[in-house]
Structures are given as structure tokens and as C-alpha cells.
Amino acid sequence: MPAAGRAPDAPGERVISTVLDPAVLTPLVVHTEAWINFDVGLLIDRFWANTINGLAYGSIYALVALGYTLVYGVLQLINFAHSEIFVIGVFGVYLTFLGLGFEPGALPNLPLAAIILDLLLAGVVAMVVAGLAAVGLERVAYRPLRRRNAPRLAFLITAIGASFAIQQVIRIVRGSNPEGTIRLLPPSPAFTVFGAPVTNLQIVIILASIAMFIVADQFVNRSRLGRGIRAVAQDPATATLMGVNRERVIMITFLVGGVLAGAAALFYLMTIPQGAVYNGGFLLGIKAFTAAVLGGIGNLRGALLGGLILGVAENYGQSLFGGDWRDVVAFVLLVLVLMFRPTGILGESLARSRA
């Protein structure tokens, strides 16, 4: 506990709340304005705007987090290359835009229906490409290790290696500069919530993400393939002895994770049109992984909750402490949650429990 040194006789929880208490921090801020703000006024002013923006960002984190959580549930493997599957999805969207004749920098002059159709097409392409890439990654990187009963550490280092390899291949093909900005649908306020504007993009992203989450959740909890996924997650040996084809379950798990990452890629590029770059998955991947751990890795609903909380919290943090603190807030939040709930908010389970 880092704070314990300052107040050795105070119980842990009180130390934390004291450190975060504005009354204690404010005098400190007066001398150190240069590197940290403490703008409670801004936090309150932007509360609703931050909440909505945070939910939109958080939905994207949640969709990517589902891929981490699903694979972890089935293989107890942190698939660090999942962020690159997401980047492949981003390029799938971007190249589809180019293929459809959209020019970087120019605003499209098309009827809304055509734009929606183009976005849908790009989304489908990204989902297919990312889904296939995830299945391919599993075949090439992880299945050979499983065949040879490799130790868990070998999987982990392979995941990191695969992540770099995919990143560098994208860099070689597309260069290291970010691609031009293609914005099909500029954000425009649709309505306001407590005075905060909600853009059309934010509505689409939040609703579509939640719809995709519900489909994924129902798939895992209600369908036959999902039943196989849960059986393998709980007890792989018994599952195979009851006729579950484990290799197929693993393939489907990667496929579903990749498809969700492809959808996230579309929403990401709609929000951040300059985001198509070879290493663009790094920070987002780490954030999504954080979201998965925050909610309880292996737990689908935890991934959604973790993503949304992370998105909202980092927006609040940005207002409160200043823009540079956005990522710090996200990771400090993770540390704090794990200190008190080591298995995450909802606990660790893709139907995993001590039977």
C-alpha cells in the first residue's frame, strides 16, 4: 500500500478516501498547478457530457474486452495479440472506405441512406476479416503449442510475439504514418441530456454495442455452441469426455472474439477517423484488457460493466485532473479495484466455479 507510509496508523480504506478527498488535495494543487489540476467545477460542468462520451468510449472497450474475456475463459490465456486483431479490423474498415471511393480529408456528398449502407458494409467486412484473422492466429500461434502441451508461459510469450509480428506486418504494408482521415458521418448533436449534447454517433455506438453484447451473451448462455464453450471453460477434460469437440469450441471462441473486435473497429474509426495506424491497437488493447480485468476476467457481463466504467471514469478523470491524466486514472482505477476485489467487480467466471 503506497499511501500507508504517509499515515501509518490510519486503516487502509481511510487513507485512500483521504487522498482522494478534494479538501486534502486542493492546498497541494495550489503549488503544483503545472502538472496536475484539480478542477471540480469542470468535472461538474461536464458531468453529463463526460458520462455520455465515456459510455460511447466504454462500449468500444467493452466489445474488445469481450474477446479477451472469452479466450481467457476457455484457455486461461491472455491473448495479447487481440489488440492487433482489432487493428486488422480497423484497416478492414479503412480499406473498405477507400475501396468505396471515399477520399481522405474530403467530406462525402452522399444521401444518408447511402452512407449508412457504406458503414454497414465496412462493418461487415471488418467483422469478417477480424474474425478470420483471430481464427488464423489461433491456428498458427496457439494450436501448435497446445498439440505439444506447452507450458502456459510459452503461450503468453507467443501472444506477445504474435502481437508484435502482426503490428510490424501492418507497418511494412501500410507504412508507419497514420492513414488519412475519412469521416463518413460527422457527429451532429441529436438531442441533449441535462444540457449535454448527445451526438448521433454516440447513440449509434452505444446502442449497437449493447445490442452486440446481448447477442454475444445469449449466444454463450443459451445456445448449444455456447454450452460447449461453458463446458470447456469449467472442465476441459470432462467436457471432451462428454463429447464436446474442444478444438472446435476454441475456434468458435476466437471467431466470436474477432467478430466483436471488428465491430468495435468500425465504431472506433467513426469516433476517431484518424485512428488507422499500425500501432493504434496498443493503448486501446491495454484499456480493453483493463476493462476485462476490472469487471472480472472470464465474465462476459463483467467485460461490459468494466468497459463502461472505465470509459466513464477516465473521462471524469480527464476533467478533474487534466487531459494528461486520462490514462493514469484508468489504470489507477484498476489497481484500486483489484486491491479490494482481486477477481474484479463481478468476479471471475465464464461459467467457472469451484465445482
Q: Could you give the string, one character per residue 95-134, with x where binding to other proteins holds by CB under 8 A and - elsewhere? A: ----------------------------------------
Burial of 179 (0-12, 13-18, 19+ CB in 10 A): buried
* Of 266, 241, 213, the residue nearest 87 (C-alpha): 266
Please list every residue from 288 through 317 that binds other proteins, using CB under 8 A: 299-301
Nearest partner of 271 among 126, 13, 60, judged by Cα: 60
* Least gap, CB of 296 to other proteins (angstroms): 11
Least Å distance, CB 230 to other proteins, is: 7
Of the listed pieces 191-199, 219-227, 268-276, 279-287, which binds other proteins according to CB under 8 A?
219-227
Residue 282, amino acid: F
Query: How far is the C-alpha of 144 from the C-alpha of 216, rounded, in Å?
Result: 28
> Distance between alpha carbon 279 and the CA centroid of its chain, in Å?
15
CB of 210 to other proteins, least distance (A): 16
Among 240, 274, 279, 343, binds other proteins (CB under 8 A): 240
Does 235 engage in binding with other proteins (CB under 8 A)?
A: yes
Tell me how far apart the alpha carbons of residues 126 and 263 are, in angstroms, rounded to a whole number: 7
Q: If residue 322 lies in a helix (H) or strand (E), which one and from where to where? A: none
Single out the residue of 70, 127, 231, 263 in contact with other proteins (rule: CB under 8 A).
Answer: 231
Question: DSSP assignment of 116-158, as one string?
Answer: HHHHHHHHHHHHHHHHHHHHHHIIIIIHHHHHTT--HHHHHHH
- Residues 6 or more apart whose CB falls under 8 angstroms from that of 22 comprise 38, 40
- Asked if 239 interacts with other proteins (CB under 8 A), we say yes
Which of the ranges 55-63, 152-160, 188-196, 225-233 carries the binding residues for other proteins, by CB under 8 A? 225-233
The three cell numbers locating residue 98: 477507400
- Out of 56, 244, 294, 320, point to the residue binding other proteins (CB under 8 A): 244
Map grid coordinates 483493463 to a residue: 290
92 vs 228, beta carbon nearer other proteins: 228
Our CB check for other proteins shows the closer of 6 and 248 to be: 248
Nearer to other proteins, 301 or 326 (CB): 301
Q: How far is the CB of 123 from other proteins (least distance, A)?
A: 17
In whole angstroms, give the CA distance from residue 49 to residue 65: 24
Identify the residue among 7, 117, 242, 336 touching other proteins (CB under 8 A).
Answer: 242
Question: Shortest CA distance to 232 belongs to which of 218, 246, 220?
Answer: 246
Q: Which residues bind to other proteins, rule: CB under 8 A?
A: 221-225, 227-228, 230-231, 234-235, 237-246, 248, 252, 299-301, 346, 349, 351-355
